[in-house]
């Protein structure tokens, strides 16, 4: 199944006999909460899901967006109407990071039929609603482990034996700036692969063939294990979405850079344009 869905395909699916569950996961790092935007207008039937409290646990030694408690995540998905055998479509405000985190979480927890609205809410040309839908509670039970994850040691090892992609902006990878975490730089051996280079100007992902070519040029040639990290495991999910569209399996280092630099004793840090 394709990991993304176009606005036109979604409109057709919503008009069908068994429309997908819609999750609105609008979120902006460092910005206002997404719920007011949801209440001001969302896809008809969509349920709001909060990234900070339902798709991530409290920040701490495991990073700024560690995995949530499985029971909390499961309850949030049931509240939204998720159940086995029914498709789910997730969307955000267009950046794609939050929606991809929700996509990855559901896939990791064993729900296979989930897709991201390509281009997010800006791609939708239909009417919006301010009505909060009355949703019948779903029966989804998370079964973690359907997708691979990395811890800090696993990420370090993968950087040596395979391909570890850093999804952050190039200047953060190089250590020129670090607006959020206490240390600048990257995991030694990681390759810079800014996730925003996976998308077109309108926020939609590049075609699968172009994504495959991009990742092949970065070293994902089919002979190496691939892993991805970012600042806190959110934008890296969009990189994983792009890799999935390109047909390349990959693991997520959930704690990402925010965990790497929070661990004691300090882990090694590389700077500059080369993996190091």
**N-terminal to C-terminal alpha carbon distance within the chain:** 37
CB neighbours of 181 closer than 8 A, spacing ≥ 6?
A: 231, 257, 258, 261
The answer to whether 254 and 66 are in contact (CB under 8 A) is: yes
Asked if 233 contacts 98 with a C-beta cutoff of 8 angstroms, the reply is no
Residue 91 region, left (φ>0) first, then alpha (ψ -120 to 50), else beta?
Answer: beta
Whether 259 is catalytic is: no
Among 22, 80, 149, 230, the one annotated catalytic = 230
- 3-state SS assignment for residue 226: strand
Tell me how crowded residue 261 is: count the other CB atoms within 10 A of its CB: 18
> Closest Cα partner for 114 from 90, 137, 84, 141?
90
Q: Which residue has the tokens 């040029």?
A: 217
Q: Which of 110, 115, 95 is nearest to 20 (CA)?
A: 115
Q: Which of 75, 72, 99 is nearest to 88 (CA)?
A: 99
Unique residue bearing structure tokens 């790092």: 29
Helix axes 97-108, 235-245, angle to 10 degrees: 70
Q: Tell me how long the chain is.
A: 276
* Alpha helix segments (H runs only) across 50-140: 51-54, 70-79, 97-108
Tokens of 109: 């927890």
Which residues are part of the catalytic machinery? 230
């Amino acid at each position: 199944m394709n990991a993304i869905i176009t606005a036109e395909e979604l409109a057709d699916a919503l008009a069908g006999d068994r429309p997908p569950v819609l999750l609105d996961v609008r979120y902006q790092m460092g910005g206002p909460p997404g719920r007011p935007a949801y209440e001001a207008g969302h896809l008809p039937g969509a349920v709001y899901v909060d990234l900070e409290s339902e798709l991530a646990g409290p920040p701490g030694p495991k990073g700024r967006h560690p995995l949530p408690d499985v029971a909390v995540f499961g309850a949030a998905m049931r509240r939204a109407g998720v159940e086995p055998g029914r498709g789910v479509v997730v969307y955000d405000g267009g950046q794609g990071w939050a929606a991809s985190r929700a996509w990855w979480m559901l896939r990791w927890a064993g729900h296979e039929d989930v897709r991201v609205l390509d281009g997010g809410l800006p791609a939708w040309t239909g009417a919006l609603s301010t009505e909060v839908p009355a949703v019948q509670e779903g029966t989804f039970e998370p079964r973690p482990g359907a997708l691979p994850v990395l811890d800090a040691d696993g990420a370090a090892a993968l950087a040596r034996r395979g391909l570890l992609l850093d999804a952050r902006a190039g200047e953060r990878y190089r250590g020129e700036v670090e607006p959020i975490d206490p240390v600048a730089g990257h995991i030694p051996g990681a390759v810079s692969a800014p996730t925003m280079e996976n998308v077109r100007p309108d926020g939609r992902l590049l075609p699968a063939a172009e994504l495959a070519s991009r990742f092949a040029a970065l070293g994902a040639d089919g002979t190496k294990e691939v892993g991805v990290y970012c600042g806190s495991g959110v934008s890296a999910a969009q990189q994983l979405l792009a890799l999935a569209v390109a047909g390349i399996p990959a693991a997520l280092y959930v704690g990402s850079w925010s965990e790497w630099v929070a661990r004691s004793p300090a882990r090694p840090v590389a700077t500059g344009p080369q993996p190091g």
